[in-house]
């Protein structure tokens, strides 16, 4: 029996090549989307699961207050880790983790700015599972002046030489010895570093005082709980821990499960690469949409062609087939076809993976060896799409009554017409929805690019000052200013695109006792506001004409003034870190974080010894020559440090990487989805045209013109597309509205986009249908009528 | 073998009932060769379909070997008909995508006949109908007469007690038609009951009894 089915299925496919192609190819593309997303989702969900203790690892996070809103921050202070382990029996290990900016690392004559130079405590290697190739996790950190490298980093510095025992120089003065080499860190690890040194070494950079400072919240703290520990109990215990320890109201703590960081963190100051569960859902939905569209094609074409299969159904029933036999047969056919599609899909996936990886910023591969979940996933996709696409044809076709089919009273495709309409409308609704979604994502990205951030980012180059290179800053500035194409030079502690320095609440004259403000802060050089084009609302910027500016001038932003409730801010007394000064200017609000966040209060102060970024505003012409000038000048003044430069607008774009990736992926899926829908529509149009060949022939004989016939054949589809638009619009509106809530600053949803999506869908549908319609309408009527 | 009492069949469209069969009383004994004749639209095919359990009457009683067909479930009907009834149609109704061999095999598959037995039966049929050389051809590679022979072979491969033939020679030329009718006659002589629907007086002459159907009524001539 099975053989009989397979034979029938194969011969049906062969005999109707066009339909089979649409089915198989459409389904294959749908599967490609599903497989790619499955791989992506699998990767997202696998983050940090490779640590043997991953269930027991937690990050200690702290609560912050902003205008009565509580927010959690990933950063805690250095003295926290050690006593936690001592005071809580259930916390068996603890480590601090973090860096102090880019480090310059030297081996022999080469110096490199290293961005992934992290620090941690000796427990680190017991808590997390990073495999040592050389050295031992127990002794690697016994001396503060030691460093563990990843295999890749070790090769980068030492080539084939044995790295163990070699000495690297950090920041030109501190020698550290390589005590261990670990396997390269998997991509699905939240912790990513090239160098890991003992936290004790950080003392050299931040000072002994800050190592004990409970307010120096710049690092993360990870703990490992005992197995089966009472997590809730520990959570309650540590909530007020610092307040008890320091005997003052500081901040509250909580545990955050380590494996949840990647997808469900949403707290301040988190790792830059964290993902978002939202995108897992959005992409999964997207993939299912596309697969569903492909399955609809299958159902549609199968029912449209039902008249051709009806006879077979009738004969089989007369030959003794029960309905169940036929249901089985048609399901079997659908699943069989979806297996064929799967084979194509796998080939396509292998072909498209590099492209997808580039879009998604991942390094996925379809690994068949030993990855059971890949096989299960593929099997599931196949069976699901087989069942999904087979269910309607199976139930529909098997219901035919042989008496009517064999008598020929069943008109070709007359039945199931409504259902087919519903299916096409569904397909087009999904397509229109995807079109609108894509447009809104791109509009928002566009809006972000076009929004006035309050500072200029075109033609501004920034260079990092690592280590003690900022001691030469004054000389560097003077020399740079001599350049022909250089318009202005300044520097600051934080980048204006992403300033997350938040040392706490300021003080000011007339502050109510209990008023706290969550404030960001930056240390800048003269000309900072001028170089970056930040406007001043009131007062003035820092100026060398005022001798006291260096010591006590503050510039605050409008938001800070608003939150402090100051009427006349100029000349008012203001302080943070207990250093009192005077507000000399109010800067207009500008976006110093991504547009996901609102503009926070910020204050600026001069402090030449904290400069980390130099900004150079350049003339737009002959940029390469300017860069050469910058390089030469840099190498002359600070020869000890490598010259590295970035354009500020690039740093800006980096803030919206997730959205750009999402936009690119959604866009490709939309195109694929629409393409599949068009394939289906084409098939359906072909079928309809075929069905109406006689009618068209008669009309033509009676004198209908070709355009009239085209209209006749296309108008029905136009109606469907209209209905699809009406359904898709409100849904798209609601979803887009919710997505935009993620941005503090968002584009408006404009009716124009909906109209454009409608126009686009009409155009696509018409173009698809009219191809076949034209062929039918121009056919020779005599031929059509003779065959009937 | 067959007993029909007051079988009526109508289709309703809107408020109008269109009667196809009216108060049909019919007895058929085992071994008969019955011909149903009548003008187009008289209800001949519908009667045949009801006899073959492919359609159900709107009212009336139908006993097949004393079993009340009008009261049986779909499953029982299916069993009854796949074991006892063979069909032959005017337009052959072979499955286009299956070869002669596979077409013959289909009813056996649904009857769950074992593989070796199946092969034997198909070989016997092919031999009997002189079609061994054509077993791997598809229906559209055969002439009409050959196709109808395959259809007859398919109908009798399950050894039915009753063969229902709906204008079996309608699409055939005279020579082919005669061949098929001879075949039916031969089967009837072997004990199989045959009921045929036809327009042709010549075909009717093969049968031993004729009933005339006009506008859904049986009329005596």
Best residue of B52, B96, B112, B151 to probe chain A, by most A CBs closer than 10 Å: B96
Which residue in A4, A401, A402 is closest to B106 by CB distance?
A: A4
Residue among B185, B81, B104, B197 at smallest CA distance from B151: B104
Helix (H, G, I), strand (E, B) or coil at A72: strand
Q: Enumerate residues 6+ apart whose C-beta is below 8 A from A490.
A: A477, A524, A525, A526, A527, A528, A530, A531, A532, A614, A615
Mutate to test the interface with B, among A315, A317, A326, A409 (most CBs of B within 10 A): A315
Answer yes or no: do B102 and A4 touch at CB < 8 A: yes
State the average pLDDT over residues A322-347: 90
pLDDT digits (tens, 9 = 90+) for A346-385: 999 999 999 999 888 888 888 777 678 888 888 998 998 8
* Residue A777 distance to chain B (closest CA, Å): 30
| C-alpha distances out from residue A324 to A41, A350, A385, B73, B86, Å | 38, 39, 20, 15, 21
CA angle A438, A444, A446 (to 5 degrees): 100
Do residues A516 and A563 make contact, with C-beta atoms less than 8 angstroms apart? no
- Lowest mean pLDDT across A114-123, A357-366, A622-631, A653-662: A653-662
Contact list in A for residue B109 (CB cut-off 8 A) is 1, 4
SS3 A362: coil
ipTM here? 0.85
Query: How does residue A731 score in pLDDT terms, banded at 50, 70 and 90?
Result: very high
Contact between chains at B78 and A318 (C-beta distance less than 8 A): no
For the stretch A498-548, pLDDT in tens is 877 766 678 899 888 878 788 888 999 999 999 999 999 999 999 989 888
Mutate to test the interface with A, among B75, B99, B110, B112 (most CBs of A within 10 A): B110
- How confident is residue A206, by pLDDT bands cut at 50, 70 and 90? confident
CA distance A364 to A344: 19
Domain count, chain B: 1
Angstroms from A724 CA to nearest CA on chain B: 32
Rounded (10°) CA dihedral A451, A454, A460, A462? -110
Nearest to B93 among A311, A320, A321 (CB): A311
The encoded tokens of residue B80 equal 């009854």
Contact between chains at A312 and B110 (C-beta distance less than 8 A): no
**Residue A414 pLDDT grade (very low, low, confident, very high; cuts 50, 70, 90):** low
Task: For B111, name the nearest residue in chain A, comparing CA atoms only.
Answer: A320
Contact B200, B122 (CB under 8 A): no
Q: Within 10 Å of residue A403's Cβ, how many Cβ atoms?
A: 21
Residue A348: Cβ within 10 Å count: 19
Highest mean pLDDT among A549-553, A587-591, A701-705, A746-750: A587-591
**Cα B88 to Cα B48: distance, rounded to the nearest angstrom:** 11
Q: A717 versus A146: which is more confidently predicted? A: A146
CA pair distance B27, B160, nearest whole angstrom: 18
* A319 interaction partners in chain B (CB closer than 8 Å): 82, 106-107, 110, 154
Distance from CA of A390 to the nearest CA of B (A): 20
CA of B93 vs chain A CAs: smallest distance (Å)? 7
pLDDT at A641 over 90: no
Q: What is the DSSP letter of A593?
A: S
- pLDDT at site A788: 38
Does residue A700 have a pLDDT over 50? yes
Q: What percent of chain A has pLDDT over 70?
A: 97
Quick one: pLDDT at residue A175?
Answer: 93
Whether residues B54 and A402 touch (CB distance < 8 A) is answered with: yes
**Would the CB atoms of B78 and A320 count as touching at under 8 Å?**
yes
Yes or no, beta carbons of B158 and A320 under 8 Å apart: yes
What is the distance between the alpha carbons of residues B156 and B159, in angstroms, rounded to a whole number? 5
Higher pLDDT, A180 or A22: A180
A132-134 and A174-182: which strand pairing?
A: antiparallel
CA of A13: which chain B residue's CA is closest? B97
**Is residue A628's pLDDT more than 80?**
yes
Residues of chain B found within 8 Å of residue A320, distances taken between Cβ atoms: 78, 81-82, 107, 110-111, 158
Question: Which of A437-451, A566-580, A693-707, B143-157 is predicted with the least confidence, judged by mean pLDDT?
Answer: A693-707
- CA dist A394 → A17, A295, A307, A417, B168 (Å): 21, 13, 14, 16, 31
Residue A616 has which token pair? 């150079």
Q: Which residue of B has its CA nearest to A4?
A: B102
- Which residue from B156, B161, B11 is spatially nearest to A319, judged by alpha carbons? B156
Q: Which residue has the tokens 């899909």?
A: A345
CB atoms within 10 A of CB B195: 25
Query: Residue A786: its pLDDT value, please?
Result: 56
Q: What is the mean pLDDT of residues A463-473?
A: 83
Q: Residues in chain B with pLDDT < 50? A: none
Confidence label for A217 from pLDDT (cuts 50, 70 and 90): confident
Alpha-carbon gap, residue B150 to B95, rounded angstroms: 11
**Whole-number Å distance between alpha carbons of A747 and B103:** 65
Residue B158 belongs to what domain range? 2-219
For residue A787, pLDDT beyond 50 = no
Strand partners of residue A76: A219
pLDDT of A19 reads 81
Rounded to whole angstroms, the Cα distance separating B42 from B54 reads 18
Contact A765, A466 (CB under 8 A): no
H or E segment at B88?
Answer: strand B85-88
Identify whether the C-beta of residue A93 lies closer than 8 Å to the C-beta of residue A66.
no
* Chain B contact set for A12 (CB, 8 A): 97
Contacts of A383 (CB under 8 A, 6+ apart): A335, A338
Q: How many helices (H) and strands (E) does chain A have?
A: 26, 24
* Contact between A539 and A583 (Cβ < 8 Å): yes
pLDDT in tens, A440-455: 988 888 888 788 888 8
- Chains A & B: contacts with CB separation below 8 Å: 65
Across the interface, do A403 and B54 touch by the CB < 8 Å criterion? Answer: yes
- Confidence grade of residue A489 (pLDDT, cut at 50, 70, 90): very high
pTM of the model: 0.80
From the list A8, A320, A322, the residue facing B98 with the nearest CB is A8
Cβ–Cβ under 8 Å, residues A57 and A127: yes
Tokens encoding B50: 């009801």
pLDDT score recorded for residue A415: 57
Interface of B with A (CB under 8 A): 45-46, 49, 52, 54-55, 74-75, 78, 81-82, 87, 89, 93-98, 102, 105-107, 109-111, 154, 158
SS3 A566: coil
Domain CATH number, residue B195 = 3.40.50.300
Q: Which residues of A fall within a CB distance of 8 Å from B154?
A: 319
Beta bridge partners of A573: A582
Chain A residue numbers with beta carbons less than 8 Å from the beta carbon of B45 are 407
- pLDDT for A408 equals 61
- Chain A interface disruption, residue of B109, B150, B160, B166, most A CBs within 10 A: B109
A317 to B154: CB separation less than 8 angstroms, yes or no: no
Tell me the pLDDT of chain A averaged across its residues: 87
Q: At what angle do helices A693-701 and A751-777 cross, to 10 degrees?
A: 70
What pLDDT is stored for residue B75 in this prediction?
80
* Distance, CA of B166 to CA of A754 (rounded, Å): 59
Q: What is the mean pLDDT of chain B?
A: 89
CA torsion angle for A346, A350, A354, A359 (degrees, to 10)?
A: 0
Contact call for B55 and A314, based on CB within 8 A: no
Which candidate, B98, B97, B103, places its Cα nearest to that of B154?
B103
Q: What is the pLDDT of residues A131-150, one digit of tens each?
A: 999 999 999 999 999 999 99
Q: Both tokens of residue B132? A: 């061994």
Q: What residues of A are in contact with residue B54 (Cβ under 8 Å)?
A: 317-318, 401-403, 406
Of A61, A96, A520, which is closest to residue A267 (Cα–Cα)?
A61
Q: Do A8 and B97 touch (CB under 8 A)?
A: yes
pLDDT of residue A410: 53
- For residues A672 and A287, give the distance between their C-alpha atoms in angstroms, rounded to a whole number: 10
Q: How many CA atoms lie within 13 A of A194 on its CB side?
A: 16
CB atoms within 10 A of CB A76: 26
Q: Helical H runs in A305-415?
A: 306-318, 323-360, 372-397, 402-407
Query: Using the beta-carbon criterion (under 8 Å), do A315 and B94 form an inter-chain contact?
Result: yes
């Amino acid at each position: 029996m099975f053989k009989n089915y397979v034979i029938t299925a194969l011969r049906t496919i062969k005999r109707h090549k066009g339909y089979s192609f649409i089915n198989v190819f459409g389904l294959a593309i749908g599967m490609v989307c599903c497989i790619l997303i499955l791989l992506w989702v699998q990767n997202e969900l696998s983050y940090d699961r490779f640590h043997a203790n991953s269930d027991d690892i937690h990050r200690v996070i702290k609560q912050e207050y902003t205008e009565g809103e509580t927010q959690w921050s990933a950063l805690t202070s250095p003295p926290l880790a050690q006593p936690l382990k001592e005071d809580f029996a259930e916390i068996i290990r603890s480590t601090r983790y973090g860096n102090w900016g880019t480090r310059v690392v030297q081996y022999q004559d080469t110096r490199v700015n290293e961005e992934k130079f992290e620090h941690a405590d000796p427990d680190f290697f017991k808590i997390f599972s990073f495999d040592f190739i050389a050295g031992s996790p127990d002794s690697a950190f016994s001396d503060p002046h030691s460093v563990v490298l990843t295999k890749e980093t070790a090769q980068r510095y030492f080539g084939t030489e044995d790295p163990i025992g070699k000495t690297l120089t950090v920041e030109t003065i501190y020698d550290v010895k390589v005590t261990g080499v670990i396997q390269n860190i998997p991509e699905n690890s939240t912790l990513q570093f090239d160098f890991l040194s003992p936290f004790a070494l950080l003392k050299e950079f931040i000072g002994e005082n800050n190592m004990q400072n409970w307010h120096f919240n710049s690092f993360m703290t990870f703990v490992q709980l005992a197995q089966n520990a009472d997590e809730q109990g520990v959570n309650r215990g540590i909530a007020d821990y610092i307040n008890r320890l320091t005997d003052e109201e500081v901040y509250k703590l909580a545990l955050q499960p380590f494996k949840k960081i990647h997808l469900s963190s949403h707290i301040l100051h988190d790792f830059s690469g964290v993902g978002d569960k939202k995108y897992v859902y959005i992409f999964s939905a997207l993939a299912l949409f596309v697969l569903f569209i492909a399955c609809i094609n299958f159902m549609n074409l199968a029912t449209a062609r039902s008249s051709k299969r009806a006879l077979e159904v009738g004969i089989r029933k007369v030959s003794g087939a029960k309905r169940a036999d036929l249901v089985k047969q048609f399901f079997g056919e659908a699943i069989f076809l979806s297996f064929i599609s799967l084979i194509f899909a796998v080939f396509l996936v292998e072909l498209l993976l590099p492209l997808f990886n580039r879009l998604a910023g991942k390094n996925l591969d379809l690994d068949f060896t030993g990855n059971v979940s890949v096989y299960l996933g593929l099997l599931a996709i196949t069976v699901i799409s087989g069942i999904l696409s087979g269910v309607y044809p199976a139930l529909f076709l098997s219901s035919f009554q042989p008496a009517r089919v064999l008598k020929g009273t069943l008109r070709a495709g007359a039945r199931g017409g409504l259902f087919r309409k519903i299916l096409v409308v569904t397909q087009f609704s999904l397509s229109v929805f995807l079109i609108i979604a894509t447009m809104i994502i791109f509009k928002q990205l566009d809006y972000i690019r076009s929004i006035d951030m309050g500072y200029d980012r075109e033609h501004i180059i920034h260079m990092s000052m690592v280590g003690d290179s900022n001691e030469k800053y004054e000389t560097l500035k003077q020399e740079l200013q001599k350049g022909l194409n250089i318009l202005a030079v300044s520097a600051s502690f934080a980048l204006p695109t992403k300033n997350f320095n938040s040392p706490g609440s300021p003080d000011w004259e007339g502050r109510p006792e209990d008023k706290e403000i969550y404030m960001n802060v930056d240390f800048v050089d003269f000309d900072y506001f001028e170089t970056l084009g930040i406007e001043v609302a009131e007062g003035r910027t820092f100026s060398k004409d005022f001798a006291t500016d260096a010591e006590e001038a503050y510039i605050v932003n409008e938001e800070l003034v608003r939150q402090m409730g100051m009427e006349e801010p100029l000349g008012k007394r203001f302080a943070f870190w207990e250093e009192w000064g005077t507000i000399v200017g109010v800067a207009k609000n500008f976006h110093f974080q991504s547009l996901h966040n609102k503009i926070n209060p910020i204050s600026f102060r001069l402090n030449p010894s904290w400069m980390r970024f130099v900004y150079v505003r350049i003339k737009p012409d002959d940029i390469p020559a300017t860069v050469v000038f910058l390089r030469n000048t840099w190498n002359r003044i600070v020869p000890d440090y490598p010259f590295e430069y970035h354009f500020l607008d690039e740093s800006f774009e980096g803030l919206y990487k997730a959205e750009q990736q999402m936009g690119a992926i959604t866009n490709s899926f939309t195109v694929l989805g629409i393409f599949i829908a068009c394939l289906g529509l084409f098939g359906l149009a072909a079928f309809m045209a075929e069905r109406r060949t006689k009618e068209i022939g008669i009309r033509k004989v009676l004198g209908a013109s070709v355009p009239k016939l085209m209209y006749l054949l296309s108008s029905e589809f136009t109606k469907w597309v209209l209905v699809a638009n009406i359904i898709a619009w409100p849904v798209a509106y609601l979803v887009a509205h919710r997505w935009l809530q993620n941005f503090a600053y968002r584009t408006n949803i404009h009716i124009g986009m909906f109209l454009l999506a409608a126009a686009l869908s009409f155009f696509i549908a018409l173009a698809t249908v009219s191809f076949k319609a034209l062929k039918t309408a121009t056919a020779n009527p005599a031929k059509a009528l003779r065959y009937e | 073998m067959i007993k029909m009492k007051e079988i009526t069949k109508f289709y309703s469209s809107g408020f109008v009932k269109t009667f196809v069969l009216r108060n049909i009383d019919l007895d058929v004994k085992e071994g008969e060769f019955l011909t149903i004749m009548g003008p187009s639209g008289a209800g001949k095919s519908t009667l045949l379909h009801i006899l073959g359990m492919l359609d159900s009457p709107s009212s009336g009683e139908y006993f097949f070997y004393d079993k009340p067909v009008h009261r049986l479930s779909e499953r029982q009907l299916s069993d009854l008909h796949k074991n006892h009834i063979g069909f032959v149609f005017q337009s052959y109704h072979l499955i286009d995508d299956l070869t002669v061999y596979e077409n013959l095999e289909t009813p056996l598959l649904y009857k769950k006949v074992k593989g070796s037995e199946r092969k034997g039966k198909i070989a016997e049929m092919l031999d009997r109908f002189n079609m061994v050389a054509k077993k791997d051809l598809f229906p559209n590679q055969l002439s009409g007469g050959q196709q109808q022979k395959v259809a007859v072979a398919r109908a009798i491969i399950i050894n039915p007690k009753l063969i229902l033939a709906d204008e079996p020679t309608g699409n055939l030329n005279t020579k082919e038609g005669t061949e098929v009718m001879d075949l039916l006659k031969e089967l009837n002589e072997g004990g199989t009951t045959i009921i045929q629907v036809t327009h042709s007086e010549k075909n009717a002459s093969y049968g031993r009894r004729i009933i005339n159907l006009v506008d859904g009524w049986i009329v005596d001539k």
